[in-house]
Amino acid sequence: MSTFNAIGIAGSGVTVYRKWLDAVADNLANINTTTRTSENAFQARYVEARAAQDGNGAEVGGIQYGSAEGVLAYEPDNPLADAEGYVRRPDIDMGNQMAQLMMAQRSYQANLSVVDRARESYTAAINLGK
- 66 touches 44 (CB < 8 A): yes
Dist. CA 128–CA 29, nearest whole Å: 49
Amino acid type, 38: S
Residue 125: is its pLDDT beyond 90? no
- 24 touches 46 (CB < 8 A): no
Q: Per-residue pLDDT tens for 2-60?
A: 556 888 899 999 999 999 999 999 999 999 999 999 999 999 999 999 999 988 899 99
- The whole-number pLDDT of residue 30 equals 97
Q: Per-residue pLDDT tens for 73-116?
A: 999 999 999 999 999 999 999 999 999 999 999 999 999 999 89
What predicted TM-score, i.e. pTM, was given to this entire model?
0.84
Residues ≥6 apart with Cβ < 8 Å to 52: 12, 58, 59
